[in-house]
Amino acid sequence: MKSKLVLATATLAIGLMTAAFTLVQQPKPWPVPDKNAKMANPVKSSKESIADGKSLWSVNCASCHGKGGLGDGSKAAQLKTIPNDLTKADFQSQSDGAIFYKISEGRDDMPSFKKKLPDAEDIWNLVVYVRTLKK
């Protein structure tokens, strides 16, 4: 009887841990308003815009998203949600406007950068740089 209770308790604990892990791993949908998703990037990709975006990335993004955008930054393990791998096709398939919106507005562990980077061109430069993080 005691061994059945231990087995049931262990099974329940494993089930709860698996459910919690699944909840952490599965990013919830992040809808972007159509008007924002359709915004065109006014900053053209160039050596200068990529360099500017990379500089901003190093200061503002790499600690969570990692140097290469894999979601493996030094602070990533401390977050409730694991940062997306920005090199994956599902992220890269988003419009520039959608990425701009997400950087600007933030949600949950992702902070809003509209006050920290009030010049929209800086956020657009980040978008240009993020486009270079493809696998």
Q: Is residue 112 part of a domain?
A: yes
Q: Is 110 helix (H, G, I), strand (E, B) or coil?
A: strand
Report percent pLDDT > 90 for the chain: 75
- In a domain, residue 78? The reply is yes
The verdict on residue 74 lying in a domain is: yes
Residue 103, domain member (yes or no): yes
CATH number at residue 57: 1.10.760.10
- pLDDT digit string, tens, across residues 42-90: 999 999 999 999 999 999 999 999 999 999 999 999 999 889 999 999 9
- Whether 110 shows a pLDDT value over 90: the answer reads yes
Q: Look up the domain containing 113 and give its range.
A: 30-130
Q: Are 27 and 100 in contact (CB under 8 A)?
A: no
Could you give the CA distance from residue 84 to residue 30 in angstroms, rounded to a whole number? 12
Cα separation, 24 vs 46, in Å, equals 37
Distance CA 80, CA 123 (A): 24
Q: What is the mean pLDDT of residues 101-108?
A: 96
Which residues are CB-neighbours of 53 under 8 A, at least 6 positions away? 125, 126, 127, 128, 129, 130
9-16 average pLDDT score? 55
Please report which confidence band the pLDDT of residue 23 belongs to, taking 50, 70 and 90 as the band edges: very low
Q: What is the pLDDT of residue 22?
A: 45
Total domains present in the chain:
1
73 in a structural domain:
yes
